[in-house]
Structure 1
Amino acid sequence: METTLNFNLHLTFKQLAELVRQLPRAEREKLVSVLQETTYDDQEPSKSKIFEDFKEDYVALQNGTLNTRPIKDILNEL
């Protein structure tokens, strides 16, 4: 028999991890599967995209055609 409770709790990541560790193995594996299936917002660029942009910027710099961006924007991407 499964019971569902809905409530708002403010947990730290450490507290949440400890609660998950208390689940039976099968339930932990089910949770992992659910989390892996979750699609995340693709607004953040991947590491490979960032490095590709750096390569393109380097080539443009060598060619004298680089359109610069504020360093703050670049660091925020990382």
Structure 2
Amino acid sequence: MQTSLNVNLSLSFYQLVELARQLPKKERAELASILMDDEPSKEQILKGLKEAIEEVNLAKKRKIKLKSAREFINEL
């Protein structure tokens, strides 16, 4: 039997962690999996590839200047 309850609560991060710790192990693992799932969708990957190809083409035409690997690393 599954029950649904919609509640709008304001909790601190600590309070949320404490509530999550009270969940059974299986549900706690499922919640962690959902919260950590940040893999891009197929559409996001294709959009990123398209933008990258457009940027490379613009650089080949000398319309933009790409950063060197060193400049890129220094930004991180």
TM-score (norm 1): 0.49
Structure with the bigger RCO (C-alpha within 8 Å, sep 6+) is 1
TM-score (norm 2): 0.50
